[in-house]
Chains A and B, each alone.
Chain A
Amino acid sequence: MNNNITSTTALIDETTQGERRRSAYWFGNAEGIHHPFWVIVSKEISDQLRSWRFIILVSIILLTCIGSMYTAVTNIGHSVKASDVSTTFFFLKLFTVSDGTMPSFFVFISFLGPLLGISLGFDAINSEYNRGTLSRVLAQPIHRDYLLNAKFVAALTVISVLFFALGFLVIGLGLITIGIPPTAEEFWRMIAFLILSIFYVAFWLNLSILFSVRFKQPATAALAGIAVWLFLTVFYPLIVNLIMKSLAPAQMAMASPKQLFDLEELRLTLMRILPNQLFSDATTTLLMPTVRSLGPLTMEQVYGTIPGPLPLGQSILLVWPQVTGLIAATIVCFVLSYVSFMKKEIRSR
């Protein structure tokens, strides 16, 4: 009996110790042990940072940023008029001003973001398979989804660090050149813009991870990702334009305002399937506080409004559907790749 009690207490002791050890374990660094998940994440991050592809991408992005900053700084003087109500948001112009020869910062991000996302993810799973490391890693005592999640977390960390670094560099450079510090609201708008950009790139990252699970050859996966990107940025708007032309009344002047309004609404709905449209809608609103609506407005709606910028909360409220849509698209891609990876049979090459 006595023996029994001691063994039970010993058991309890062991389990509590086990629990304690496990909880310390997840956050890592207890006696130099890291949770396997973070072991994979740190390996993936260092792999990304050491790869040529990342160096090339970062140099492209840095060059374009410097270019757009240069045009912004040289043109910022012309764009500000004394009577302009938006002069209060002078600093945000750094991200949006352009003289027409060189696109502005946020246009660059919306253009290069997909490229960054696709190139960080297109060989996530299939290269592991082709190298013969997949079956070896999965034979270790880890859950299968650790690998996929770790790849996603690692790439997202790299993107986040990169974007925040870029954003703060732009802010710093702006401070030095124009000498006016940003207001608190401007600062939060910029942070919101950076977070939004990260979500946008995360969408493309997940899409390319999905392709990397589906296609065995990294080249095929990369091509599929680029094809989707080209389709969405070049061909889809063309198709929408064609549809709109066929729907438009023969004589525009004869059309009723209601008809025109509906047509414009339809065009916007069709365009808002595009992640890049969602992104540019959202960023425009965030970086230009004077934007009050993303759809057509009737005279009645505008009547009596005082021209002025929206507060940050209202701007965010305005783009909330866009942000939700973007996150939803990201999650859909992730779920698809998750399911197809979990169902995949892991064989040696």
Chain B
Amino acid sequence: MDEHIIELVHLTKKYGAFTAVDDLNLTIQKGEIFGLLGPNGAGKSTTILMMLGLTEPTSGIAKVCGINSTTNPIEVKRRVGYLPEDVGFYDQRTGFENLMFTAGLNGIPKEKAAEQATLLLEKVGLMDSFHKKTGKYSRGMRQRLGLADVLIKNPEVIILDEPTSGIDPKGVREFLNLIVELSRGQGLTVLFASHNLHQVQEVCDRVGIFVNGKLLGQGNIKTLSQQLFKDRPYVLYVDIQRPVANGKTESVSLDEVSRLLQPVETISSISIQDHLFCIESSSDVTSQVATLIVQSGFTMLSLNKKEYGLDEIYYQYFEGGTNHE
């Protein structure tokens, strides 16, 4: 499964003095669900447009399925389904007619297209609105029709740009489940661009954090936090107690703990937070600390290593980053 289906090499897009996408390098494997996570105005949509050949990069190469998107966009667009943010349809036509139009543009014979459109409408749960004009569709229905519209050309890759904005939570859940189901079932590669952390975390195999045109890190959540927080101290939260009679315990002072842990050189500070000792260190000292405490005869009620989740990543970079909208 080591096939690079999307390859971006030194991709840069400038609008005058403003750099929307800055030297982006990214590869996406076949069959994975990749989340492109970034605040509004980070350059996610611009990147997607360059992948589809709808806009020309200032420099660098975008390759999809091994085809250069800038020089040969037609072949790329034959293989890629793109669901734009807030997708629109021809209001005077039914969902079915809209799908047939897209099928026609992709050169699918009429009979086969009709069969497939019916199948897809059923899959996305729009069979009841088969003959309803899309002008009367709700936002969530339009988005689901958009997914059917993307799938009718039988793509290898689907690119979704903020597909869940404006849908209610239940609709979002259904939509995400549908995407996961499709990706797993048909081996589709999915690029999911969103600013919504939790949705990305829920469905994506790998995530790329994209802020101000730069990719700050990529990988699954664990490697991502290692990548982003490698300069940060390791933090341990330990609950240390002194055993007294009858299995009861009493608290230990900060001085005693400091003295106890003195042999561990990498520890930079020890403090008390909410009755827990917070130990900061430049390397992972979990086992050393645990051994020392147990050897000293204290009781260790709990030991927690602080993990940086997406939430921390989010607040660290998104809130700090400037929003362009």
Contact = CB atoms under 8 A, between A and B. Distances in A.
A347 B74 contact: no
A348 B49 CA distance: 10
B107 A32 contact: no
A346 B49 contact: yes
A43 B101 contact: yes
Contact of B109 (A32, A132, A136, A347): A32
A347 B87 CA distance: 11
A139 B84 contact: yes
A39 B104 contact: yes
B104 A34 contact: yes
A143 B74 contact: yes
B91 interface: yes
A198 B82 CA distance: 39
Given A47-B92, A346-B55, A347-B45, A137 B84 contact: no
Interface string A8-33: 00000000000000000100000111
A245 interface: no
A74 interface: no
Contact of B77 (A132, A140, A348): A140
Contact of A132 (B52, B78, B87, B104): B87
Interface residues of A, number: 29
B110 A139 contact: no
B84 A348 contact: yes
Interface in B53-90: 54-55, 74-75, 77-78, 80-82, 84-90
A58 interface: no
Contacts of B22: none
A139 B74 contact: no
B214 interface: no
A135 B153 CA distance: 16
B74 A133 contact: no
A345 interface: yes
B49 A141 contact: no
A149 to B, nearest CB: 14
Nearest to B80: A139
Contact of A348 (B75, B87, B105, B107): B87
Interface string A121-155: 00000000001110111111111000000000000
B32 interface: no
Nearest to B105: A140
A348 B109 contact: no
A81 interface: no
Interface in B198-216: none
A35 B105 CA distance: 8
B85 to A, nearest CB: 5
A167 interface: no
Contacts of A139: 52, 54, 77, 80-82, 84
B15 to A, nearest CB: 9
Nearest to B109: A32
Contacts of A135: 54, 82, 84
A323 interface: no
B280 interface: no
Nearest to A40: B105
B102 interface: yes
A297 B233 CA distance: 98
Given A140-B153, A141-B77, A348-B45, A36 B84 contact: no
A36 B105 contact: yes
A39 B101 contact: yes
Contact of B92 (A40, A50, A142, A345): A50
B217 to A, nearest CB: 27
A141 B74 contact: yes
A22 to B, nearest CB: 10
21 contacts: A34-B104, A43-B101, A47-B92, A132-B87, A135-B54, A135-B84, A136-B84, A136-B88, A136-B102, A136-B149, A139-B84, A141-B74, A141-B75, A141-B77, A141-B107, A142-B74, A347-B45, A348-B45, A348-B85, A348-B86, A348-B161
Interface of A: 25, 31-36, 39-40, 43, 47, 50, 131-133, 135-143, 345-349
Given A31-B109, A132-B84, 10 more contacts: A32-B109, A32-B111, A33-B107, A35-B107, A47-B90, A133-B90, A140-B77, A140-B102, A140-B106, A141-B78
